[in-house]
Structure 1
């Protein structure tokens, strides 16, 4: 337990960053299992102790906790952590979401967008996992594929081979992306160059126009809120929307969802975000929501704007547990609002 509790310290020693544990994959999995078991055991023990104290107050007498009960919660914590790691490391299924868009041009009726986000390519989510995710995304039959940040945990030199399979992502209207906060932790400009060389069309405070004859759909993107902390350009919706065709519906890519209300005020039709990982564990999601303006997982309606916060395709390898909050590859189908 003492060794497992120092997982993040060992991660920093292995790579210079707590965000990139540079151990063999099986070791990263075991660390996540044992560290997760400690965290869950602590929660279970607090619940058990509070229950015991409540029983003592009601009975006005001492209440003993049987040793077998303590062993049971230890076993439960270990089992739950194992299930959580297995859930986190799977190749996620495709989740379908229909979105109604006001004034959607008829040419874009049924238009499909696949979102990947929070891949966290690392020693946990390796090339084989990225290959499987790429194959599943390509098979989803999207018109457009987007990645809403947190591609990696590690430098270009550390992750070059593991991220390489993502270059095979294909969609008729292209593959677009924005940075997440983790790109700013690891040589941001080097990653932007490398991802562009891989075929991603990056949209840092920029937009692209998708055409169907004379009909237009705008895809806009912004940088991450963490950018100013490392001397990079902060997110600017003004820059991203400068020069967009008048009347064209706008799909916004923003890694963090917390400014969605401001985007809604600008007439954004659909905002796609990630970052929260859906809260990872039922109950913990309520805490994560408080740090993200109340947005943590799934669909939110803000006037005529739809915000969708993905649970994420992967997960940070420093705490890779999912319990009741499944990972996802999300396929959006656009329909004209009736």
Structure 2
């Protein structure tokens, strides 16, 4: 169903592009045919980029994924800018309706503006997506946090998305940045890879070099299930990471205790791996604060009912492509940064990688460093 919807959207975007950039801006049938062939070729490239990597593997896919996803990023902003330009086009429709030269001038001007704007926006977004993640810092007050845990620092990293476009060097950079931050705990909240361990295991190997005082803990994201979640769980545990499968662990500092819990992603319901918050919190001392790792922010609704103190999530990419975050906010209670649902803090990282186009606009990649403080 996803592939059918994606194909329909891609086809409609290219059809709209042909109408505004080819049909409206040219005079001869020959030129329009050439333009139509070019648009169809680009549509096929995008379709192949979205569907073939899982069949041919990341090594082969990178040869068409790079141009395909780069074009997809430009395409997105071409459509956005052209839709905005529909407003002046509508306002001038009566003026140009009977004047062919004016209509052609207006159409060509809009095409030039859209092309320049889309290329500039997408180009800036590529620099952001492929550059080093930002280190975002936030202090979070937790009720009942023992003073011994004051200043406890958690590095939150999510949505690394190893695959045809991001490989071992990407992982090495993330590990280096986290280690330099000198944190107490690393929380990986899903979507490590888009491919199997056989294809991408070598790219994930640098994760074994993560250093923190209390270790690295991880939970599954939706893309783990698309890529073979059990094999990735086994591989990450082999690399020394700790899997929180609807369970929790307790950290102590003197007489103080901090619970770290984790649940599977909601996508696990389709793979007989349903998230179970009750199991994760069963038997805990409710006077101790609990930090929950859960890939999708929407899982905070149940967490708030269970009086979880802080939920760490990813999944949204911060919207990745402005203004796409408006759509994301319809499905998720938090898109980026710190918010609160009832008495539960929700922190959503933008993620350290990207999915689809190597473009980030208005949502730079990040590794978040959260410092816990006792609530006054």
The TM-score, its normalising length taken from structure 2, stands at 0.83
Of the candidates 75, 96, 106, which is equivalent to residue 38 of structure 1?
A: 75
Contact 1:281 1:323 in 2 (8 A): yes
Match of 2:131 in 1: 90
Contact 1:117 1:150 in 2 (8 A): yes
Match of 1:287 in 2: 327
> Which structure has the larger Rg?
2
1:236-247 alignment runs, 5 A limit: 236-247=276-287
The TM-score, its normalising length taken from structure 1, stands at 0.92
Of the candidates 187, 210, 219, which is equivalent to residue 228 of structure 2?
A: 187
> 1:81 deviation in Å?
1.5
Contact 1:204 1:222 in 2 (8 A): yes
Classify 1:38/1:215 alpha carbon distance in 2 versus 1 (closer, same or farther; 3 Å).
same
Q: Which has the higher contact order (CA 8 A, sep 6+)?
A: 1
CA distance in 1, matches of 2:146, 2:212: 20
| Matched residue SS, 1:96 | strand
Classify 1:15/1:165 alpha carbon distance in 2 versus 1 (closer, same or farther; 3 Å).
same
Bigger proportion of residues as helix: 2
Classify 1:325/1:58 alpha carbon distance in 2 versus 1 (closer, same or farther; 3 Å).
farther
Of the candidates 146, 154, 163, which is equivalent to residue 195 of structure 2?
A: 154
Match of 1:120 in 2: 161
Contact 1:271 1:305 in 2 (8 A): yes
Measured against aligned partners, the alpha-carbon deviations of 1:211-257 in whole angstroms (never above 9, x if no partner) come to: 11221000000001011212x22111101111223311000000001
| Matched residue SS, 1:123 | coil
Match of 1:47 in 2: 84
CA distance in 2, matches of 1:272, 1:148: 7
Unaligned 5+ runs, structure 2: 1-38
> 1:71 deviation in Å?
1.9
CA distance in 2, matches of 1:300, 1:75: 37
Match of 1:311 in 2: 350
| Matched residue SS, 1:271 | strand
Measured against aligned partners, the alpha-carbon deviations of 1:254-284 in whole angstroms (never above 9, x if no partner) come to: 0001121221121111100010111112221
CA distance in 2, matches of 1:243, 1:3: 59
Query: Which range moved further: 7-16 or 294-303?
Result: 7-16
Unaligned 5+ runs, structure 1: none
- What RMSD, in angstroms, separates the aligned Cα atoms of the two structures? 2.1
Aligned residues: 333
Measured against aligned partners, the alpha-carbon deviations of 1:132-152 in whole angstroms (never above 9, x if no partner) come to: 110001111110011000011
